[in-house]
Amino acid sequence: KQLCRDPVVYNYYLTLLVKDSTSNDESELMSFLTTYGKDMLYDPDYALRMCKRYGRIQSCVHLYSLLKLYEDAVELAIKQGDIELAQIHAERPDDDKLCKRLWLKIAQHMIQSKEPASEVMELVRRSHRLGVEDILPFFPDFTRVDDFKDDICVALEDYEMQIQDLRGEMDEATRTAEAMQRDMSSLKNRFAILSTEETCQACSQPLWMRQFYVFPCQHSFHSDCLTHRVVGSCNRVQRRRIQELQAQLVEIAKQRRQLRLTPLMNKKSEKPGDSDEQLEQQQRRAKQQLDSLVAGECVLCGEAMIKSIAEPFIDMDQAIGVGADDAWSI
């Protein structure tokens, strides 16, 4: 049996229910709105206009929630004095902050209506979102504190536990920072033992021929070989930065060499420039930045090797004119 899905039929039947129901008895109308509102078989905007026109408050509150207008639903329920209905719809939103704001609005209305403090505190406990500190600003200055003494004591105990937990987390963070500082200090004294026959992992030439890097994994590379490998696998921004640092180091070395040759040539510099100490500091900073980019991790054990999984075994650009069998020949 196929279900009719024409909204005109449902809107017409809804109009009949709105007219036949009363403000004291909206059970049949609410049943219709709840059953067919899940699939939106009727027009909720039209239903809301009709319910407002004939004063069907409970149905209006339900339709506001159906349209996700939760604040309007709670305000309408509060305006009609139906606190229980307001509490039901205050729990509908998925946003915890919105739920808390709606519960706070209900509590504020009860305080302004001069409801007993015990009922207000019962509302706070039922909400599981509000605390005594949230509603105290709404009470008059002459309110007796005895009515909230137990709840205030419980809140203070909770705050004390939270402070102790935060203090424990701070102590743990301090210990972790101290341990990291000790580890960083020990890195300065770390060393590696290499044999005289050690070779570069990139070019297989003796390692002692040129400046080299040694990683904790015991992989070692010539400085220029490692730089070539890193430049070939890094992104464009890093590649440009490495080239800038290399050019900067060459220029600083040239300036220091000229500065040292000036006294030997009995010639005074025409333009005042940086001293040798300043140039040395600039060189040290540039070298540290270059080391962090080039030797931040081993190219055989780090992220670069993981990314190389997607690279083909054969470079097709280099293999043009060479057969696949020849490219794999030993």
Q: What are 192-205's pLDDT values in tens digits?
A: 888 888 999 888 89
| Whole-number pLDDT of residue 320 | 55
| Whole-number pLDDT of residue 134 | 79
CA 197 – CA 207 distance, rounded (Å) = 8
123-173 residue pLDDT tens: 888 888 887 777 877 777 666 666 667 777 777 788 888 899 999 999 999
Q: How does pLDDT run along the chain (330 residues), one tens digit per residue?
A: 456 778 898 889 889 999 988 878 888 888 988 888 878 888 989 999 999 998 899 999 999 999 999 999 999 999 988 889 999 999 888 888 999 999 999 988 988 888 877 788 888 888 888 877 778 777 776 666 666 677 777 777 888 888 999 999 999 999 999 988 888 777 767 778 888 889 998 888 988 888 888 888 888 999 999 988 888 888 888 889 988 988 998 898 888 888 877 765 555 554 455 677 888 888 889 888 888 888 888 888 888 777 777 776 666 555 555 555 565 565
| Whole-number pLDDT of residue 315 | 61
Query: Three-state DSSP class for 222?
Result: strand
Residue 301 φ then ψ, to 5°: -120, -10
Closest CA to 51 of 38, 39, 91, 67: 67
Dihedral of alpha carbons 218, 223, 228, 233, sign: positive
Is 14 buried (19+), middle (13-18) or exposed (0-12) by CB count in 10 A?
buried
Query: Three-state DSSP class for 274?
Result: coil
CA 239 – CA 279 distance, rounded (Å) = 24
Query: Three-state DSSP class for 199?
Result: strand
CB atoms within 10 A of CB 74: 27
Closest CA to 103 of 80, 78, 81, 79: 78
- Under DSSP, the state recorded for 62 is H
Query: Three-state DSSP class for 267?
Result: coil
**The whole model's pTM is what?**
0.48
